[in-house]
């Protein structure tokens, strides 16, 4: 998917040279002088050819029309791909490059769920506000370690308490394990805020991508589910490029940007994440990708037509190659009957709640033009506004997926990412002051 085809050939060229280097050194003459000289020359050759291969790979990556700073976007993708070759551990190691924090950092558990707590270095008499953060990663990767640079920056810049939840991934346990973990941890914290000198009326929940799904789902549970009536309510919910539904993978954004690696998130990655979160296997990926997993009756239902209608997407976003749906008369009835309970469960897909969203806390929703999940966020904005919920919708015309989290610092930071994070932090600061 990522490393094959014409573009990937340059990437593999660098990898082949590395392999040749290992073979040559393994069988080089015994003479130490010859060995050292050969090692030096081959090392230079490896770096040169490898660098050329990576640059050629980056050069050939297609970029969506109009995407600003295309070279930075390409380099972002290359850095993620190289790190991805070495697995999750390298991401976590690289995340620690930002050095020691001045925060008091504690790894502990809330009701059996691992969490990381960031607290101000000095205690005060007044109670502090807090943000509970749920990381993204398609329910199947990333961790509190990977997101440490962001959560530490958030805690430090705003001088607040931050709770980062290390919920179980789909590689460990399928739905609803992740949202159950998050709900348990958030409810426990809201009931024990005094133990951390936190004001229970000033707690915001925030998540990006799959974490946005979990943040929205937890918010709905705590607010609308009678079993949580006695739990202190959240002050606000922040959803950054959230993935909120698995019914329609043919929205305008999926059609327009689903094939671009340089938009950071591809359609096939999102579909695979949903399918593996639900079933533990990629077997149904092609079925989901073509919307064959929902029946004709489901596509004609009031909920589907009202919530997922492409008429809810502003016309300015419906640019080529977008084509409006011409028919709803397709799909697998039997498969849908098997899956519909989960597909319509708001704990799985918060956008699909069959009922009013009235009473939910204020929402701050971030969407980006060049993001396949853009329309999920827009659909939810529309639903919340219709329910009378106060919504701040921040759309980035020049943005890619979750850039305020992943593309706002470091050598490959993009202007839109920096700007988006500044707006995000300003909203949090202003909201927690009131």
Mean pLDDT for the chain overall: 88
- pLDDT band with cut points at 50, 70 and 90 for residue 28: low
Q: Which two tokens stand for residue 254?
A: 């999926």
Alpha carbon distance 39, 44 (integer Å): 9
Model confidence pLDDT, tens digit, residues 296-316: 999 999 999 999 999 999 999
Q: Which of 153, 248, 371, 398 is catalytic?
A: 371
Peptide bond into 2 cis (omega under 30): no
Taking residues 268-294, report their average pLDDT. 96
Smallest Cα–Cα separation from 363: which of 349, 383, 345? 383
- 35 phi, psi to nearest 5 deg: -65, -45
* Catalytic residue list contains 209: yes
DSSP assignment of 209-225 equals THHHHHHHHHHHHHHH-
Q: Are 17 and 50 in contact (CB under 8 A)?
A: yes
Give the model's pLDDT for residue 86.
59
Interval 194-222 mean pLDDT: 97
Q: Which of 145, 293, 401, 404 is catalytic?
A: 401
Q: Which two tokens stand for residue 158?
A: 């705003």
For the chain, percent of residues with pLDDT exceeding 70 = 86
Three-state SS at 297: helix
Of the residues 143, 170, 200, 209, which is catalytic? Answer: 209
CA distances from 428 to 122, 133, 238, 373 (A): 21, 12, 9, 23
Contacts of 55 (CB under 8 A, 6+ apart): none
How far from 429 is each of 14, 201, 202, 204, 433, CA to CA, in Å?
Answer: 46, 14, 11, 11, 6
| pLDDT at 130 exceeding the cut of 90 | yes
pTM of this structure: 0.88
Nearest CA to 372 out of 213, 241, 193 is that of 241
């Amino acid at each position: 998917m990522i490393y094959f085809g014409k573009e990937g050939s340059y990437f593999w060229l660098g990898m082949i040279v590395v392999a040749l280097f290992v073979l040559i050194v393994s069988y080089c003459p015994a003479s130490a002088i010859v060995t050292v000289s050969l090692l030096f020359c081959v090392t230079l050759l490896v770096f040169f050819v490898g660098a050329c291969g990576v640059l050629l790979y980056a050069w050939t990556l297609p970029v969506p029309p109009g995407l600003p700073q295309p070279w930075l976007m390409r380099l972002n993708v290359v850095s993620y791909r190289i790190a991805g070759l070495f697995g999750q551990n390298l991401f976590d190691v690289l995340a620690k490059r930002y050095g020691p924090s001045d925060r008091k950092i504690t790894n502990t558990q809330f009701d059996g769920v691992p969490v990381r707590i960031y607290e101000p270095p000095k205690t005060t008499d007044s109670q502090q506000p807090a943000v509970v953060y749920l990381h993204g990663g398609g329910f199947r990767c990333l961790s509190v370690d990977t997101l440490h640079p962001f959560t530490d920056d958030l805690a430090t810049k705003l001088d607040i308490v931050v709770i980062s939840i290390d919920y179980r991934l789909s590689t460990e346990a399928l739905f609803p394990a992740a949202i159950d973990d998050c709900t348990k941890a958030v409810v426990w914290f809201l009931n024990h805020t005094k133990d951390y000198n936190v004001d229970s009326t000033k707690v915001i929940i925030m998540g990006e991508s799959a974490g946005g799904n979990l943040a929205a789902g937890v918010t709905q549970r705590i607010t609308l589910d009678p079993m949580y009536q006695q739990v202190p309510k959240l002050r606000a919910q922040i959803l950054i490029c959230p993935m909120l539904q698995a019914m329609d993978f043919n929205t305008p954004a999926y059609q327009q940007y689903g094939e671009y690696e340089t938009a950071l998130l591809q359609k096939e990655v999102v579909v695979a994440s949903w399918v593996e979160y639900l079933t533990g296997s990629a077997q149904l990926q092609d079925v989901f990708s073509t919307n064959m997993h929902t029946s004709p009756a489901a596509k004609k239902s009031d909920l589907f037509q009202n919530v997922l209608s492409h008429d809810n997407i502003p016309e300015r976003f419906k640019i080529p190659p977008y084509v409006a749906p011409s028919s709803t008369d397709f799909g697998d009835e039997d498969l849908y009957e098997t899956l519909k309970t989960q597909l319509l469960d708001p704990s799985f897909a918060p956008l699909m709640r069959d009922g009013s969203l009235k009473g939910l806390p204020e929402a701050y929703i971030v969407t980006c033009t060049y993001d396949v999940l853009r329309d999920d966020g827009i659909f939810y904005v529309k639903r919340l506004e219709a329910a009378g919920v106060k919504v701040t919708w921040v759309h980035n015309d020049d943005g890619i997926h979750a850039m305020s989290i992943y593309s706002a610092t470091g050598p490959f930071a993009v202007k839109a990412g920096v700007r988006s994070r500044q707006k995000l932090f300003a909203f949090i600061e202003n909201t927690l002051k009131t």
